[in-house]
């Protein structure tokens, strides 16, 4: 059969949707720009909030946290999903800087679009962006300032910078004190380096009349005493933590007991009672006055424990029980027979709060775990406070672990833009144009800060450029006055890790998107 050149050749199935060449690139550019524009208005201390309402639900989220906003949005575009992943990674790695990273991707793609329009090939742009990223990270390291865990005023400033602009600024000072104390308490030096396990700081929330933040050097259990005879308060806590039940459990094999008289029944009941009492006596003999059990505690055991002044909680979440053991220096055991001095945890005091329906185990000596209790009058305020505290907690942790910080107020971005332009001139060729575009992309940060604060963006960017050109590398924009000031003296500081991650992830994602010249989306059977 002769070949017919006019006959169509089918390569892809009908369920493959293809976007080739320039169309694919433009589509990715547009997706990145739209997401950047979506979260851009939330950047900075004077950024706006977003109200996210789930369709068909009464759930409302009010936040200016970039990661939360993007997480709640149902993003469908493949390129946009990459940008969302960047925000999630930024949040996981640093706890802050999500909005900056997304806005930067949008700006980098916008600059790439302009370069493409002038005839620069995407591969040249990708090369320039890669060179620019490496140089930017090098410059960032030179701008970093060393800090020690003992420098509490600086750590407080770092926490305040992270929380400024949130909806909970009225308790910001209080919350920052709590956060810094919490992180400093659980920080450990290993092999000459500070290490912090973020899981050692538990954040709990409760509805209350007013908004407060409180540090408990111990743990909070969302339970109260099951027996009114148990004490409400204990000084000098000695705690035992059980993973097994304090009750007579069923045997694995079925068995029968033949009782032929009332005396036998009485003896059987007495033996059972003695066994249950023996469980309570084991704790009393060991000097234990607090029992946390992940399983059930039989009513008679509760009575015997209460009679001996022992506070006991049953069905405690395993996570809370393990956390309490870590905070008090104790260990989990399976049964009362496993009790020993090594497994008993200690704390200064125990208090039961009937209003909050919580048990406070506090004043632990050298606690390995602590709890931050947040209260708020409305649920959306409590949620936003929790998000702000989590962000601030992570940035303080980042600074202590890295031992360095950078200056905020768009001073870093302005300095990077200036020095990257200088670097571009040493490269030459078309790659120079790409690096200059990469440098210009950083100016989106000072521009956005000025815009969100109600100032003229052109004037403020020019003022910042002039200040940095004259050698003031810490010059940044005061979003409340509109003046260009020394941000180091103003105390506007940020973790280096946040900046580094934002620069690296946004640059790498932009490079990936620029290099895509074909998108093939395979539809499922139900989508055909």
Active site residue 99: yes
Measured in degrees and rounded to the nearest 5, phi and psi for residue 311 equal -90, 125
**Residues 107-136: b if buried by 16+ CB within 10 A, e if exposed:** bbbbbbbebbeeebebebbbbbbbbbbebb
Backbone phi and psi for residue 17, each to the nearest 5 degrees, phi listed first: -100, 120
* DSSP bridge partners of 406: 494
Active-site pick, 38, 98, 371, 509: 98
| Tokens matching residue 112 | 């790439």
Query: How far does CA 1 lie from the centroid of its chain?
Result: 66
Burial 367-400 (b: 16+ CB within 10 A, else e): bbbbbbbbbbeeeebbbbbbbbbbbbbbbbbbbb
Task: Show the beta-strand stretches assigned E in 279-421.
Answer: 290-293, 311-313, 332-333, 345-353, 358-362, 370-376, 404-407
* Rounded CA separation 93/171 (Å): 26
Nearest to 380 by CA among 168, 96, 97: 168
Give me 93's structure tokens.
């790695």
User: CA angle, 459 as apex, 456 and 465 as ends, to 5°?
Assistant: 135
Cβ count within 10 A of residue 440: 17
User: Which tokens sit at 357?
Assistant: 């329906």
The one catalytic residue among 19, 42, 63, 65: 65
Q: Which two tokens stand for residue 248?
A: 């007579």
The residue ranges of DSSP E strands in 110-216, in sequence order, are 145-146, 188-190, 193-195, 201-207, 212-216
Contact (CB, 8 A) for 367 and 181: no
Please identify which of the residues 391, 402, 463, 478 carries the catalytic annotation: 391
Contact 85, 102 (CB under 8 A): no
**Whether 371 is catalytic:** no
338 among known catalytic residues = no
The pair phi, psi for residue 145, each rounded to 5°, is -120, 135
In 3D space, the residue among 472, 434, 480 whose CA is nearest the CA of residue 453 turns out to be 480
Q: Based on the residue annotation, tell me whether 65 is a catalytic residue of this protein.
A: yes
Cβ-based neighbours of 72, under 8 Å, separated by 6 or more: 52, 54, 61
For 87, 369, 387, 516, the CA distances from 203, given in Å and listed in that order, are 22, 11, 10, 42
**From the CB of residue 231, how many other CB atoms can be counted at a distance below 10 Å?**
16
Kindly give the pairing relationship between strand 290-293 and strand 311-313. parallel
- Residue of 96, 184, 200 whose CA lies nearest to 148: 184
Catalytic hit among 63, 99, 100, 509: 99
Active-site residue list: 65, 98-99, 391
């Amino acid at each position: 059969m002769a070949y017919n050149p006019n006959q169509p050749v089918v390569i892809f199935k009908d369920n493959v949707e293809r976007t080739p060449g320039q169309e694919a690139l433009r589509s990715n550019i547009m997706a990145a720009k739209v997401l950047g524009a979506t979260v851009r208005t939330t950047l900075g201390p004077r950024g706006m909030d977003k109200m996210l309402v789930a369709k068909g639900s009464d759930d409302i989220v009010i936040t200016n946290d970039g990661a939360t906003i993007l997480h709640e949005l149902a993003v469908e575009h493949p390129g946009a999903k990459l940008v969302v992943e960047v925000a999630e990674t930024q949040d996981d790695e640093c706890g802050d800087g999500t909005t900056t990273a997304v806005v930067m991707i949008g700006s980098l793609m916008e600059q790439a679009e302009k370069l493409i329009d002038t005839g620069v090939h995407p591969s040249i742009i990708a090369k320039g962006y890669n060179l620019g990223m490496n140089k930017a990270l090098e410059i960032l390291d030179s701008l970093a300032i060393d800090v020690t865990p003992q420098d509490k005023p600086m750590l407080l400033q770092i926490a305040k910078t992270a929380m400024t602009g949130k909806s909970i600024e009225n308790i910001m000072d209080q919350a920052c004190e709590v956060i810094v104390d919490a992180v400093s308490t659980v920080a450990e030096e290993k092999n000459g380096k500070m290490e912090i396990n973020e899981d050692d700081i538990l954040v709990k929330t409760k509805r209350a009349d007013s908004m407060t933040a409180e540090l408990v050097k111990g743990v909070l259990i969302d339970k109260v005493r099951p027996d009114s005879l148990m004490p409400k308060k204990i000084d000098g806590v000695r705690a035992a933590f059980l993973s097994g039940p304090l009750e007579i459990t069923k045997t694995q094999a079925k068995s029968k007991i033949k009782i032929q008289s009332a005396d036998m029944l009485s003896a059987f009941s007495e033996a059972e009672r003695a066994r249950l009492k023996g469980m309570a006596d084991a704790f009393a003999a060991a000097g234990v006055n607090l029992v946390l059990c992940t399983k059930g505690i039989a009513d008679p055991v509760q009575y015997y424990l209460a009679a001996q002044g022992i506070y006991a909680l049953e069905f405690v979440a395993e996570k809370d029980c393990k956390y309490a053991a870590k905070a008090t220096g104790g260990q989990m055991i399976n049964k009362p027979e496993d009790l020993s001095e090594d497994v008993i945890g200690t704390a200064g005091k125990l208090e039961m709060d009937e209003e909050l329906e919580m048990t406070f185990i506090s004043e632990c000596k050298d606690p390995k775990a602590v709890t931050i209790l947040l209260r708020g009058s409305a649920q959306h305020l409590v949620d936003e406070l929790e998000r702000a505290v989590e962000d601030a907690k992570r940035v303080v942790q980042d600074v202590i672990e890295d031992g360095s910080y950078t200056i905020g107020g768009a001073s870093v971005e302005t300095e990077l833009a200036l020095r990257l332009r200088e670097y571009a001139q040493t490269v030459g060729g078309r790659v120079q144009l790409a690096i200059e575009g990469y440098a210009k992309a950083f100016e989106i940060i000072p521009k956005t800060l000025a815009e969100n604060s109600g100032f003229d963006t052109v004037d403020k960017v020019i003022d910042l450029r002039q200040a940095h050109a004259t050698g003031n590398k810490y010059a940044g924009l005061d979003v409340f006055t509109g003046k260009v000031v020394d941000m180091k003296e103003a105390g506007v500081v940020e973790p280096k890790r946040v900046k580094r991650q934002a620069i690296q992830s946004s640059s790498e994602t932009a490079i990936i998107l620029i290099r895509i010249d074909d998108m093939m989306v395979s539809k499922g059977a139900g989508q055909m």
